[in-house]
């Protein structure tokens, strides 16, 4: 916040759910949610650090002071920042986005069971999954190749309305015959939220018929619950994974059914414990609510109960659109 007198206030939520990076170089001060923005402004890497959760930085002329406004020592950093939201060149809370995604790919390689031969290739769904795909391919000693080219003029799809999402998904990637023909393709994606993009993409690849087999690997566990901490993700009803889980568990059979619906030969997600290992933070320091259904705040728990009840009635409205009396 910048007030009318030119005083700057930068604050971070008490649990550190969202990231906040600050930089100070001589008289220059800047803050951004991602370190890459500060690096690109010309701040030296050693001048950039994370703002402690529950702390505010106040800048008044040439005076800078830090003030703690919450005493909680609990942390709940959003794991999805490292997996999907953040720029791959960023670091948050001293953990690199690139190295996290690389380790997620290594976890996928460790779990791989399909036969690997000279006709097997890894293809990333551009761009977020590239680091994971490259690391997976390296571990499996097979090539990671660009079998899908991203159309730079189509935006992200997961926060759009249904029809514009489908339209965008259709023009989002161009499959390359030269790369895919006759191949057993391990298709690596960062996550599946509603599955619109994945269904459209697999439908297109199948109708072109170039790839011999398509095995989908997701560098994230299934998204089973909505986010109430700033990401307008979806209602439970709209999410792809929840209806396939058996007693809330991801099984071989549930993944087989998901693969069938998507049009893939096989599908595999990462288990939840891969996430903390890959970020290199204890899971108690992470918000993993959208993959576990367990929220780090009482308000989150309450909203999830409402969202769950609404999903049983197949209601599609956002939980925070419920009457205030129900939420409070
Ligand atoms: S619910 Fe998911 S997207 Fe939202 S803050 Fe938690 S981990 Fe991040």
pLDDT for 159 beyond 80: no
- The average pLDDT across 200-216 equals 97
What would the mean pLDDT of 102-114 be, rounded to a whole number?
98
- Looking at residue 77, its pLDDT comes to 98
Condensed to tens digits (0 to 9), the pLDDT of residues 227-273 reads 999 888 778 989 999 999 998 899 999 999 999 999 999 999 999 99
The pLDDT mean for the chain works out to 92
| Nearest CA, atom 8, ligand 1 | 78
pLDDT at 157: 58
Banded model confidence at residue 300, pLDDT cuts 50, 70, 90: very high
> For residues 69 and 90, is the Cβ–Cβ distance under 8 A?
no
Share of residues in the chain with pLDDT > 90 (%)? 84
287 lines ligand 1 (CB under 6 A): yes
Residue 326 has pLDDT above 90, yes or no: no
pLDDT at 315 over 80: no
Closest-CA residue, ligand 1 atom 1, reads 227
pLDDT band at 313; cut points 50, 70, 90: confident
78 lines ligand 1 (CB under 6 A): yes
Q: What percent of the chain has pLDDT over 70?
A: 91
The correct answer on CATH 3.40.50.2020 for the domain covering 79-327 is yes
- The position carrying tokens 């916040």 is 1
Does the pLDDT at position 162 exceed 90? Answer: no
**Cα distance between residue 98 and residue 111, in whole Å:** 20
Q: What is the dihedral of CA 191, 171, 85, 163, to 10 degrees?
A: -80
Average pLDDT over residues 207-235: 94
Confidence of residue 152 (pLDDT cuts 50, 70, 90): confident
Which residue's entry shows tokens 């050693």? 46
> Which residue has a Cα nearest atom 2 of ligand 1?
290
pTM: 0.91
Q: Is the CB of 148 under 6 A from ligand 1?
A: no
Contacts (Cβ under 8 Å, ≥6 apart) of 301: 295
Q: Are residues 223 and 269 in contact, defined by beta-carbon separation less than 8 angstroms?
A: no
Q: What is the pLDDT of residues 111-143, one digit of tens each?
A: 999 999 999 999 999 999 999 999 999 999 999
Cα(2) to ligand 1 centroid in Å equals 28
Q: What pLDDT, in 10s, does the model give residues 25-70?
A: 999 999 999 999 999 999 999 999 999 999 999 999 999 999 999 9
| Ligand 1 geometric centre to CA of 206 (Å) | 33
Query: Can you tell me which atom of ligand 1 is nearest the CA of 223?
Result: 2
The pLDDT value recorded for residue 84 is 95
Segment 295-303 mean pLDDT: 96
Q: For position 227, what pLDDT does the model report?
A: 95
pLDDT bin (cut points 50, 70, 90) of residue 171 is: confident
Local confidence band at 156 (pLDDT 50, 70, 90 cut-offs): low
pLDDT of residue 160: 58
For range 94-113, the mean pLDDT: 98
The predicted model gives 77-94 an average pLDDT of 96
Model pLDDT, residue 283 = 97
Domain ranges, ordered by start, for the chain: 8-74, 79-327
């Amino acid at each position: 916040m910048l007030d009318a007198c030119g005083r700057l206030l930068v604050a971070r939520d008490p649990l550190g759910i969202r990231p906040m990076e600050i930089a100070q170089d001589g008289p220059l001060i800047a803050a951004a949610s991602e370190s890459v923005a500060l690096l690109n402004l010309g701040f030296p890497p050693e001048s950039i650090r994370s703002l402690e959760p529950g702390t505010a930085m106040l800048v008044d002329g040439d005076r800078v002071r830090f003030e703690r406004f919450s005493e909680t020592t609990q942390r709940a950093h959003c794991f999805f920042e490292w997996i999907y939201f953040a720029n791959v060149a960023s670091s948050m809370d001293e953990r690199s986005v690139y190295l996290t995604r690389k380790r997620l790919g290594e976890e996928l390689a460790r779990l791989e069971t399909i036969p690997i031969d000279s006709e097997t290739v890894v293809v990333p769904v551009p761009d977020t999954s590239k680091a994971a795909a490259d690391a997976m391919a390296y571990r499996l000693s097979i090539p990671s190749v660009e079998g899908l080219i991203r159309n730079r003029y189509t935006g992200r799809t997961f926060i759009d309305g249904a029809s514009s999402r489908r339209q965008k998904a259709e023009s989002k990637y161009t499959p390359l015959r030269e790369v895919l023909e006759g191949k057993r393709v391990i298709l690596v994606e960062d996550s599946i939220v509603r599955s619109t993009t994945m269904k459209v993409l697999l439908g297109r690849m199948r109708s072109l018929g170039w790839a011999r087999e398509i095995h989908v690997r997701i560098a994230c566990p299934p998204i089973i619950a909505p986010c109430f901490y700033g990401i307008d993700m979806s209602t439970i009803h709209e999410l792809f994974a929840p209806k396939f889980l058996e007693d809330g568990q991801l099984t071989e059979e549930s993944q087989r059914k998901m693969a069938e619906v998507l049009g893939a030969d096989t599908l595999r997600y990462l288990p939840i414990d891969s996430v903390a290992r890959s970020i290199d933070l204890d899971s108690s320091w992470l918000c993993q609510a959208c993959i576990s259904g367990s929220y780090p705040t009482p308000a989150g728990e309450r909203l999830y109960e409402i969202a769950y009840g609404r999903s049983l009635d197949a209601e599609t409205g956002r939980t925070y659109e419920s009457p205030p009396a129900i939420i409070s």
